[in-house]
Structure 1
């Protein structure tokens, strides 16, 4: 869909809501380079911004107005270039593991506000959300000949938590299944990459993309950063913590793939930081910005998800931030992971 077409759709939906005297729990405005963006605001002053280009969350701020996601200062908000940062949606392909462009095409297509979303499991006490929809264009069908509907609900919780709920349905009329891989490619904003640690992945096996996907076992009691890391952790837990010592805060990532068509999707966790050499090689990434970001991605990447016509896959990622506590001079991750903070 073109930018003009997407804008017209947004205006049509807004007009429909106005005619029904409905007050949508979001605001649509113009963002960088005139691209439409959706803003959500919570009662405590928390906020989220989502660009319809890519269906991509580009900002998540706490009640103090502090940005929690990383977006590069050199990010290009101009199609067909994907936006560097926030939470890109990798679909129907993760990385270059297939015939499509890297990370698929969902992150550089124009989504629309869903005019007739199906029921979602959103708490009745919270109405701060928006439903987005992506369907294949003629161009998409030529490069990936499968009919689908990708629905995304972005919810800002009462306490400022950010919940992304995805639904992918096979709408094919030819009776053929299709397979895809997927990831929430989340860029977190951190004080300094050398001052953070990731808890919850210790003792797990991982595939190292810097060593031809060789399989290793995590040996440390946490993941820390001294150089480039690009790993896919296998059979990961539903909860992972990113501890930022300097800012004394901890990101908690909760994820799940819901059972559909008799299958349970197993999420992996991808951990990535490009470090200095690769940062300098990326035109849309500042030379020293690698120090202030880390990607911890909830992903279904090693084994593709297969849907028959009419079948639907659901996946969720919930992000929250809690104050970090100190224990013998160190942040205490176990209190976070066990939910006692």
Structure 2
């Protein structure tokens, strides 16, 4: 099996200056999805510096585990004054990558609300040949049509134009075909009722500074999250959600995967993603998100 990093897309022009989100991988959207009057688009979690709670460590099972955390500090309070603690636990298995996320409100008095999303960029040979399951019958907000709401009637979603949709109450499992070398990617999600599908296509790829004009055919974002309705945490309460990415093969004989390849996955770069909580998130503003002025 190829290292998992080959399944995740990163633009050739991605910037690693610690000041802006990396265009690729799995940016952590929190506490705001979309434009935010109090801080950067998609919140500050993907540009904040996380604390390494547990360095990548091989478990007795052969899996590799790492844990990161983010708490309120001067940086987050400059945009949002609530206390919070965010934990991000990653487990790399032979054919899977597990994401376990926890949000805790340590305040004794204040309630806050937020949105949460894993903005996963998948690498594909040709997005026009991909099919995505798990959205049939679901309502979705189409940001390319000024936030109009439609119902998905297709059994599988295909992409042949600029796509920016927030699907609501989707199935817990999505299958993406033709990810790498004809393989399939299985996404399992828990407590993430929404799924965002995004591709800027040719016309909007040109408007994104850190996105190559010719890169749109080789990526698709399928993003598990909770954005249509905010997460509301009372004092002393917590929220948990998880996602599993699994590579599926067409043959029954699977090549042996060496987890020793983990150092090349560069999991240690994750602390540079940034996170915070946004009680002021307004899901009603989602339809007004315009990628033409604020790239996804």
The TM-score normalised by the length of structure 1 is 0.69
Aligned length: 249
Q: Distance in 1 between matches of 2:139 and 2:250?
A: 27
Change (3 A) 1:197 1:143: same
**Corresponding residue number in structure 2 for 1:306:** 232
**Corresponding residue number in structure 1 for 2:147:** 213
Change (3 A) 1:310 1:94: same
Q: Distance in 2 between matches of 1:179 and 1:129?
A: 29
Q: Distance in 1 between matches of 2:229 and 2:250?
A: 35
Aligned-residue offset at 1:178: 0.6
Q: Distance in 2 between matches of 1:246 and 1:141?
A: 41
Q: Distance in 2 between matches of 1:140 and 1:245?
A: 36
Aligned-residue offset at 1:97: 5.6
Q: Does 1:160 align with 2:86?
A: no
SS of alignment partner, residue 7 of structure 2: coil
**Corresponding residue number in structure 2 for 1:247:** 181
The TM-score normalised by the length of structure 2 is 0.79
SS of alignment partner, residue 46 of structure 2: helix
Pairing partner for 1:142 from 78, 81, 102: 78
Q: Deviations over 1:10-59 (max 9, x none)?
A: xxxxxxxxxxxxxxxxxxxxxxxxxxxxxxxxxx7x65xxxxxxxxxxxx
5+ residue gaps, structure 1? 1-43, 48-59, 62-66, 117-122, 258-265, 326-341
Aligned-residue offset at 1:156: 0.2
**Corresponding residue number in structure 2 for 1:69:** 8
Q: Deviations over 1:68-100 (max 9, x none)?
A: 000111000002111001000000111116643
Q: CA RMSD in A?
A: 2.1
Aligned-residue offset at 1:172: 2.0
Aligned-residue offset at 1:124: 6.9
Pairing partner for 1:78 from 17, 20, 24: 17
**Corresponding residue number in structure 2 for 1:203:** 137
**Corresponding residue number in structure 1 for 2:118:** 184
Q: Distance in 2 between matches of 1:85 and 1:78?
A: 14
5+ residue gaps, structure 2? 252-296
Match runs of 1:100-139 below 5 Å:
100-114=39-53, 125-139=61-75
Q: Distance in 1 between matches of 2:233 and 2:180?
A: 44
**Corresponding residue number in structure 1 for 2:249:** 323
Greater relative CO (CA pairs within 8 A, separation 6+): 2
Pairing partner for 2:31 from 92, 108, 113: 92
Contact 2:7 2:180 (8 Å CA) reproduced: no
Q: Distance in 1 between matches of 2:65 and 2:77?
A: 30
Q: Deviations over 1:172-225 (max 9, x none)?
A: 24x101100010000000011111111121222211011122111112231111
Contact 1:243 1:324 (8 Å CA) reproduced: no
Contact 2:89 2:100 (8 Å CA) reproduced: yes
Change (3 A) 1:187 1:286: same
Q: Which structure has the greater CA radius of gyration?
A: 1
Change (3 A) 1:137 1:91: same
SS of alignment partner, residue 209 of structure 2: coil
